[in-house]
Structure 1
Amino acid sequence: MMRISTTKTRRWMLSTAVCGVLITGCSSGEGEGGDSKPQTKPAAEAKPLAEGALRPLLLTQADLGYGYTQVQEEPGEGKFDDVAVQGCPALEKLDQSGEEDLFAAKAEASFTYDRDATLGEEVHSDRPSVLSSKLRELFGAYTSCPTYTMTAGTTPIEVKVSKSVAPELGDERFAYTSTMELPSGAQVLKTMAVRKGNVAVMLVGAPALVDRHIKTAVDKLPAGN
């Protein structure tokens, strides 16, 4: 499953394909689903929540059920600095943007399931208009090219991307599926994000796990503001 970077959300987005190769130490495996409601900036936007307020919103082993084990995040800034993309201008631009923190606050959790499947979660908070515009930018970039090449160090990975339909949850939702052509065979990862007011949740991993738990993840978010 893909690993979620603890320091650079953009590196988390780039690492979705790489974790098909770097399975060990990866926590979860992301374009826009085209299933989002039109946004109108409210007169007075809700302020971002602090990181401490986001942690109780994360999924737990009790939420997920039998067979899941939480994985402790490994410290280390820049662990995905050798991840790069070729063959997709929008993603190459994203990779070069250098943004350290896309949103005001973030909390994350990672799980393994049945030893060889993984599920990663990030909960972000910012003003609703900021969450909306940046999620659209990120997922839009990742669905802008049907195919591209990722490299982890010197290892090339061919990636195919297709938009996915997300369930009618929250105020906006985004989803896509990535198929990575690995020496051991094709690996499929799904990325889904749902915004609910000033909080957004992202799940990445095996498609069945993402589909199974996205509603539970969204239900843990506070009422939209």
Structure 2
Amino acid sequence: MRISTSRTRQWILAPALCGVLITGCNTSGGGEAAEPEATPAAESTPLAEDQLRPLLLSSANLGTGYVQVRAETDTGKYNDIVVQGCPSLEKLGASGDEVKFASKATVTFAKDGTATLSEELHSDRPTVLSSKLRSLFGAYTACRSYTMTAGTTPIEVKIAKSGTPKLGDEQFAYTSTMELPSGAQVLKTLAVRKGNVAVMLVGAPALVDRHIEAAVGKLPADD
């Protein structure tokens, strides 16, 4: 599976962002398309991107030391990142279009010039959000480890399920430990669905745990 993402200083986040954060995964392997889902008459419809953007975290929500990072425009910069050794992720990459949501909005922050915190909001019908979140997190937690190659440098990645807060309607989380040349780096990916919107945070576990309640608190109330 080949990974591409245009986030500033985020190439090391690729295993967490690809798939779960829908930033553009693809693979040459095969995959079965998901079955179309029925739409219950009472389900709320997806919010548009311009409706999601005001719901994103801001520097004011996070506190001192956070600076919003602008996304880079060089979309081909990270095309040399490849994941191997996890069949579930290969299948996920092959059917990437099937797990995209109706709309999304994103933002990334740097904390004191070192740690990063990325947020994505996704909106779709509640049953679609639920089904696809389960598929995404199921794919990532199905493999306890895999290898990510950046250029010619192989990086071992270990995955572990994580505890989740009692927020929203559904919660999903896992941690990624990457063995980088400079040492191990641990990232947490946490998603909470509330009605027809899901918030996903990726970053240092302490930052994700610290700000998830504020992120969910900005979501609209359930119908």
Same fold (TM over 0.5): yes
Structure 1's 151 and 18: CA in aligned 2 closer, same or farther, altered over 3 A?
Answer: farther
Q: Partner amino acid for 2:118?
A: G
Partner of 1:173: 171
- How far apart are 1:17 and its partner, in Å? 5.6
3-state secondary structure, aligned to 1:103: coil
3-state secondary structure, aligned to 1:194: strand
Partner of 2:29: none
Partner of 1:97: 95
3-state secondary structure, aligned to 2:46: coil
Partner of 1:15: 14
CA RMSD of aligned residues (A): 2.5
Q: Partner amino acid for 1:96?
A: A
Structure 1's 79 and 106: CA in aligned 2 closer, same or farther, altered over 3 A?
Answer: farther
Question: C-alpha separation between the residues in 2 aligned to 1:98 and 1:79?
Answer: 20
- Structure 1 window deviating more from structure 2 (150-159 vs 127-136): it is 150-159
Partner of 2:218: 220
Question: C-alpha separation between the residues in 2 aligned to 1:132 and 1:71?
Answer: 29
Question: Where in structure 1 are there 5+ consecutive unaligned residues?
Answer: 20-40
Alignment of 1:14-33 (within 5 A): 15-16=14-15
Residue by residue over 1:110-139, the C-alpha shift from the partner in whole angstroms, topping out at 9 and shown as x without a partner, is 000011100000001001111111111111
Alignment of 1:126-165 (within 5 A): 126-165=124-163
TM-score (ref. length: structure 2): 0.81
- How far apart are 1:98 and its partner, in Å? 4.1
The number of residue pairs the alignment matches comes to 197
For CA contacts below 8 A with separation 6 or more, give which structure has more relative contact order: 1
Question: C-alpha separation between the residues in 1 aligned to 2:142 and 2:77?
Answer: 26
Partner of 2:203: 205
Question: C-alpha separation between the residues in 2 aligned to 1:223 and 1:80?
Answer: 38
Structure 1's 134 and 80: CA in aligned 2 closer, same or farther, altered over 3 A?
Answer: farther
- How far apart are 1:86 and its partner, in Å? 1.1
3-state secondary structure, aligned to 1:99: helix
Instruction: Answer yes or no: is the 8 Å Cα contact 1:17–1:159 preserved in 2.
Output: no
Instruction: Answer yes or no: is the 8 Å Cα contact 1:85–1:95 preserved in 2.
Output: no
- How far apart are 1:156 and its partner, in Å? 1.2
Q: Partner amino acid for 1:178?
A: S
Question: C-alpha separation between the residues in 2 aligned to 1:160 and 1:77?
Answer: 27
